[in-house]
Protein backbone atom coordinates (compact mmCIF):
# COMPACT_ATOMS: atom_id res chain seq x y z
CA UNK A 1 0.00 0.00 0.00
CA UNK A 2 1.78 3.13 -1.24
CA UNK A 3 -0.53 5.74 0.36
CA UNK A 4 0.86 9.26 -0.16
CA UNK A 5 4.19 9.40 -1.97
CA UNK A 6 6.36 12.51 -2.04
CA UNK A 7 9.44 13.08 -4.15
CA UNK A 8 12.18 14.06 -3.72
CA UNK A 9 12.99 13.38 -0.06
CA UNK A 10 15.73 16.03 0.03
CA UNK A 11 16.48 19.02 -2.19
CA UNK A 12 18.96 21.89 -2.12
CA UNK A 13 18.23 24.95 -4.25
CA UNK A 14 19.96 28.23 -4.86
CA UNK A 15 18.03 31.46 -4.40
CA UNK A 16 16.00 32.23 -7.51
CA UNK A 17 15.80 28.66 -8.80
CA UNK A 18 12.44 27.01 -9.42
CA UNK A 19 11.38 23.46 -8.79
CA UNK A 20 8.36 21.19 -8.40
CA UNK A 21 7.67 18.99 -5.40
CA UNK A 22 5.70 15.93 -6.42
CA UNK A 23 2.86 14.32 -4.50
CA UNK A 24 0.83 11.30 -5.54
CA UNK A 25 -1.80 9.26 -3.72
CA UNK A 26 -3.38 5.95 -4.66
CA UNK A 27 -6.41 6.02 -2.34
CA UNK A 28 -8.75 7.91 -4.69
CA UNK A 29 -8.93 10.79 -2.21
CA UNK A 30 -10.70 13.94 -3.35
CA UNK A 31 -8.92 16.21 -0.88
CA UNK A 32 -5.19 16.94 -1.16
CA UNK A 33 -3.12 19.60 0.52
CA UNK A 34 0.38 20.94 1.07
CA UNK A 35 1.75 21.99 4.45
CA UNK A 36 5.09 23.34 5.53
CA UNK A 37 6.51 22.55 8.96
CA UNK A 38 8.95 24.94 10.59
CA UNK A 39 10.41 24.85 14.12
CA UNK A 40 8.29 26.90 16.50
CA UNK A 41 5.66 27.57 13.82
CA UNK A 42 3.97 24.21 13.57
CA UNK A 43 2.25 23.04 10.40
CA UNK A 44 0.89 25.72 8.10
CA UNK A 45 -1.39 25.14 5.12
CA UNK A 46 -0.02 26.36 1.77
CA UNK A 47 -2.64 25.25 -0.79
CA UNK A 48 -5.36 22.66 -0.95
CA UNK A 49 -7.67 21.00 -3.47
CA UNK A 50 -11.02 19.24 -3.09
CA UNK A 51 -11.00 17.65 -6.53
CA UNK A 52 -9.47 17.71 -9.99
CA UNK A 53 -9.52 21.20 -11.41
CA UNK A 54 -10.23 22.82 -8.01
CA UNK A 55 -7.55 24.51 -5.90
CA UNK A 56 -7.59 27.14 -3.18
CA UNK A 57 -5.12 29.07 -1.07
CA UNK A 58 -4.24 28.23 2.48
CA UNK A 59 -2.54 30.27 5.15
CA UNK A 60 0.84 30.87 3.44
CA UNK A 61 0.39 30.64 -0.36
CA UNK A 62 2.80 33.35 -1.52
CA UNK A 63 5.66 32.02 -3.65
CA UNK A 64 3.93 28.72 -4.40
CA UNK A 65 1.67 27.48 -7.20
CA UNK A 66 -0.39 24.31 -7.45
CA UNK A 67 -2.56 22.57 -10.01
CA UNK A 68 -4.75 19.48 -9.86
CA UNK A 69 -5.22 17.91 -13.27
CA UNK A 70 -5.85 14.39 -11.94
CA UNK A 71 -7.27 12.94 -8.73
CA UNK A 72 -3.95 11.24 -7.97
CA UNK A 73 -1.42 14.06 -8.33
CA UNK A 74 -1.00 17.44 -6.64
CA UNK A 75 2.38 19.04 -7.45
CA UNK A 76 3.67 22.10 -5.61
CA UNK A 77 5.74 24.58 -7.63
CA UNK A 78 8.21 27.00 -6.14
CA UNK A 79 8.45 29.86 -8.62
CA UNK A 80 11.64 31.59 -7.45
CA UNK A 81 13.11 29.97 -4.34
CA UNK A 82 13.99 32.16 -1.35
CA UNK A 83 15.84 31.24 1.88
CA UNK A 84 12.55 31.79 3.76
CA UNK A 85 11.20 28.75 1.92
CA UNK A 86 13.68 26.46 3.64
CA UNK A 87 11.38 24.02 5.40
CA UNK A 88 9.97 20.50 5.48
CA UNK A 89 7.02 20.16 3.11
CA UNK A 90 4.26 17.61 3.66
CA UNK A 91 1.54 16.51 1.29
CA UNK A 92 -1.67 15.11 2.82
CA UNK A 93 -4.89 13.63 1.47
CA UNK A 94 -8.26 12.38 2.64
CA UNK A 95 -11.75 11.55 1.51
CA UNK A 96 -13.87 14.68 1.28
CA UNK A 97 -17.58 15.19 1.96
CA UNK A 98 -17.40 18.93 2.43
CA UNK A 99 -15.55 18.78 5.74
CA UNK A 100 -12.69 17.00 7.52
CA UNK A 101 -14.70 13.91 8.46
CA UNK A 102 -12.03 11.44 7.38
CA UNK A 103 -8.51 10.90 8.71
CA UNK A 104 -5.79 12.87 6.97
CA UNK A 105 -3.00 10.75 5.43
CA UNK A 106 0.46 12.29 5.19
CA UNK A 107 3.49 11.61 3.02
CA UNK A 108 6.96 11.38 4.58
CA UNK A 109 7.92 14.89 3.57
CA UNK A 110 10.43 16.74 1.41
CA UNK A 111 13.24 18.53 3.23
CA UNK A 112 14.09 21.65 1.21
CA UNK A 113 17.08 23.91 1.79
CA UNK A 114 17.45 27.18 -0.12
CA UNK A 115 20.91 28.77 -0.01
CA UNK B 1 -9.60 32.37 13.35
CA UNK B 2 -9.16 29.01 15.03
CA UNK B 3 -6.07 28.74 17.25
CA UNK B 4 -4.91 25.42 18.72
CA UNK B 5 -2.58 25.21 21.73
CA UNK B 6 -0.84 22.16 23.17
CA UNK B 7 0.65 22.22 26.65
CA UNK B 8 3.16 21.03 27.71
CA UNK B 9 5.55 21.28 24.78
CA UNK B 10 7.48 18.30 26.13
CA UNK B 11 6.74 15.52 28.60
CA UNK B 12 8.93 12.74 29.98
CA UNK B 13 7.44 9.78 31.88
CA UNK B 14 8.59 6.35 33.08
CA UNK B 15 7.40 3.28 31.24
CA UNK B 16 4.03 1.95 32.41
CA UNK B 17 2.62 5.30 33.46
CA UNK B 18 -0.79 6.47 32.30
CA UNK B 19 -0.66 9.97 30.85
CA UNK B 20 -2.81 12.72 29.38
CA UNK B 21 -1.91 15.13 26.59
CA UNK B 22 -3.87 18.36 26.32
CA UNK B 23 -5.15 20.35 23.37
CA UNK B 24 -7.05 23.66 23.62
CA UNK B 25 -8.83 25.53 20.85
CA UNK B 26 -10.26 29.03 20.74
CA UNK B 27 -13.36 28.59 18.56
CA UNK B 28 -16.01 26.35 20.12
CA UNK B 29 -17.64 25.98 16.69
CA UNK B 30 -15.05 23.29 16.00
CA UNK B 31 -16.32 20.69 13.53
CA UNK B 32 -14.04 17.79 14.39
CA UNK B 33 -10.66 17.16 15.98
CA UNK B 34 -7.88 14.80 15.00
CA UNK B 35 -4.91 13.51 16.97
CA UNK B 36 -1.72 12.61 15.10
CA UNK B 37 1.62 11.04 15.93
CA UNK B 38 4.86 12.15 14.28
CA UNK B 39 8.09 10.17 14.55
CA UNK B 40 11.41 11.96 13.85
CA UNK B 41 11.97 12.53 10.13
CA UNK B 42 8.57 11.12 9.23
CA UNK B 43 5.15 12.37 8.27
CA UNK B 44 2.14 12.47 10.55
CA UNK B 45 0.05 9.38 11.26
CA UNK B 46 -3.60 9.86 12.17
CA UNK B 47 -4.44 8.22 15.53
CA UNK B 48 -8.01 9.24 16.30
CA UNK B 49 -10.66 11.49 14.77
CA UNK B 50 -13.53 12.81 16.89
CA UNK B 51 -16.43 14.16 14.85
CA UNK B 52 -18.59 17.04 15.98
CA UNK B 53 -21.39 14.81 17.25
CA UNK B 54 -19.05 12.56 19.25
CA UNK B 55 -17.44 13.09 22.64
CA UNK B 56 -14.70 10.48 22.50
CA UNK B 57 -12.96 7.83 20.44
CA UNK B 58 -10.88 4.84 21.52
CA UNK B 59 -8.23 2.79 19.78
CA UNK B 60 -6.32 0.21 21.81
CA UNK B 61 -4.50 2.02 24.64
CA UNK B 62 -5.50 5.43 23.30
CA UNK B 63 -8.61 7.39 24.21
CA UNK B 64 -9.37 10.87 22.93
CA UNK B 65 -12.12 13.11 24.24
CA UNK B 66 -13.61 16.35 22.96
CA UNK B 67 -15.36 18.97 25.10
CA UNK B 68 -16.48 21.74 22.77
CA UNK B 69 -17.98 23.88 25.54
CA UNK B 70 -14.65 24.18 27.34
CA UNK B 71 -12.56 24.26 24.15
CA UNK B 72 -10.50 21.23 25.14
CA UNK B 73 -9.50 17.82 23.88
CA UNK B 74 -7.38 15.27 25.71
CA UNK B 75 -5.47 12.22 24.52
CA UNK B 76 -5.14 9.54 27.19
CA UNK B 77 -2.41 6.93 26.77
CA UNK B 78 -2.65 3.92 29.07
CA UNK B 79 0.34 1.89 30.23
CA UNK B 80 2.85 3.90 28.22
CA UNK B 81 5.70 2.11 26.41
CA UNK B 82 9.03 3.36 25.01
CA UNK B 83 7.57 2.86 21.52
CA UNK B 84 5.03 5.57 22.31
CA UNK B 85 7.84 8.15 22.27
CA UNK B 86 7.01 10.64 19.52
CA UNK B 87 5.51 14.07 18.97
CA UNK B 88 1.73 14.15 19.31
CA UNK B 89 -0.22 16.84 17.46
CA UNK B 90 -3.86 17.77 17.54
CA UNK B 91 -5.70 19.56 14.74
CA UNK B 92 -9.14 21.13 14.68
CA UNK B 93 -11.42 22.04 11.82
CA UNK B 94 -14.43 24.30 11.58
CA UNK B 95 -15.10 27.69 12.98
CA UNK B 96 -15.00 30.45 10.40
CA UNK B 97 -13.88 28.10 7.65
CA UNK B 98 -13.30 24.47 7.00
CA UNK B 99 -9.51 24.49 7.23
CA UNK B 100 -7.52 22.28 9.57
CA UNK B 101 -5.50 24.15 12.20
CA UNK B 102 -2.65 22.30 13.93
CA UNK B 103 -1.20 22.72 17.39
CA UNK B 104 2.59 22.77 17.71
CA UNK B 105 2.67 19.37 19.36
CA UNK B 106 3.81 17.70 22.59
CA UNK B 107 7.09 15.78 22.47
CA UNK B 108 6.57 12.64 24.56
CA UNK B 109 9.47 10.58 25.86
CA UNK B 110 8.73 7.29 27.64
CA UNK B 111 11.76 6.09 29.56
CA UNK B 112 12.36 2.34 30.00
Task: List, for residues A11-33, the tens digit of each pLDDT value.
Answer: 999 999 999 999 999 999 999 99
Region B85-103: mean pLDDT is: 83
Search chain B and give the residue with CA nearest A46: B99
Side-chain-facing half-sphere of A10: CA atoms under 13 Å: 2
Contact A59 B45 (CB under 8 A): no
**CA-closest candidate to residue B15, choices B87, B95, B98, B84:** B84
Residues of B in contact with A59 (CB under 8 A): 99
The answer to whether the CB of B43 falls within 8 A of the CB of A90 is yes
The answer to whether the CB of B84 falls within 8 A of the CB of B33 is no
Residues of A in contact with B36 (CB under 8 A): 104, 106
Strand pairing report for A4-7 and A10-13: unpaired
Q: Is A17 helix (H, G, I), strand (E, B) or coil?
A: coil
A42 at interface of B, judged by CB pairs closer than 8 A: yes
Q: Please determine, for residue B53, whether its predicted confidence score (pLDDT) is greater than 90.
A: no
- φ, ψ for residue A78, nearest 5 deg: -95, 120
Kindly give the parts of chain A with pLDDT less than 70. Answer: 1
Q: Looking at residue A10, what is its pLDDT?
A: 97
C-beta neighbour count of A82 within 10 angstroms? 14
Residue B71: left (phi > 0), alpha (psi -120 to 50), or beta?
A: left
Amino acid sequence: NAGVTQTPKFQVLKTGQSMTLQCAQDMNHEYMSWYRQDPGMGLRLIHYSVGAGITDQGEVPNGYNVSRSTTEDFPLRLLSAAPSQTSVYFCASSYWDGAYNSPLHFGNGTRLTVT
Amino acid sequence: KQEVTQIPAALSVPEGENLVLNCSFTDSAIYNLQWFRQDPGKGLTSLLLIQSSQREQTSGRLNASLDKSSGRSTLYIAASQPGDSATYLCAGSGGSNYKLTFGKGTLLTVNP
